[in-house]
């Protein structure tokens, strides 16, 4: 009997039977161009993604006036980076 799983998004997934899974595995292993990686090969692999940075930015939630936010957003792409630069300048010059 086939088993079905329901995902959080509502999709239904039909799991293969043990015989179907064995047939799929055998077919995959018979392909010389798609052999599983050895433990030695897996150990040499590096993780994917962005490298970690020394000083990551901290997430922030704050409330500001709607007109100020709109003016910042309409200044174009990169507005958050520019706000960060303005705040950094204010801190470094002692205006805070």
81 has a pLDDT exceeding 90: yes
41 has a pLDDT exceeding 90: yes
Contacts of 53 (CB under 8 A, 6+ apart): none
Q: Is there a contact between 4 and 12 (Cβ–Cβ < 8 Å)?
A: yes
- Please, which pLDDT band fits residue 14 given cuts at 50, 70 and 90? very high
- Please, which pLDDT band fits residue 21 given cuts at 50, 70 and 90? very high
- Please, which pLDDT band fits residue 50 given cuts at 50, 70 and 90? confident
CA–CA distance, 95 with 89 (Å, rounded to integer): 8
pLDDT at position 52 is 86
pLDDT at position 95 is 81
Residues 51-68: tens digit of each pLDDT: 888 989 999 999 999 999
Helices and strands in the chain: count of H runs, count of E runs: 4, 2
Q: Which residue has the tokens 């704050």?
A: 62
Using only C-alpha atoms, the chain has a radius of gyration, in whole angstroms, of 26
């Amino acid at each position: 009997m086939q088993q079905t799983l329901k995902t959080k998004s509502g999709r239904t997934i039909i799991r293969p039977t043990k015989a179907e899974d064995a047939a799929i595995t055998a077919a995959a292993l018979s392909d010389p161009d798609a052999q599983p990686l050895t433990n030695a090969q897996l150990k040499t692999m590096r993780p994917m993604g962005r490298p970690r940075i020394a000083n990551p930015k901290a997430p922030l939630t704050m409330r500001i006036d709607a007109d100020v936010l709109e003016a910042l957003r309409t200044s174009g792409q990169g507005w958050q980076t520019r706000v960060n630069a303005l705040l950094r300048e204010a801190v470094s010059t002692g205006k805070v």
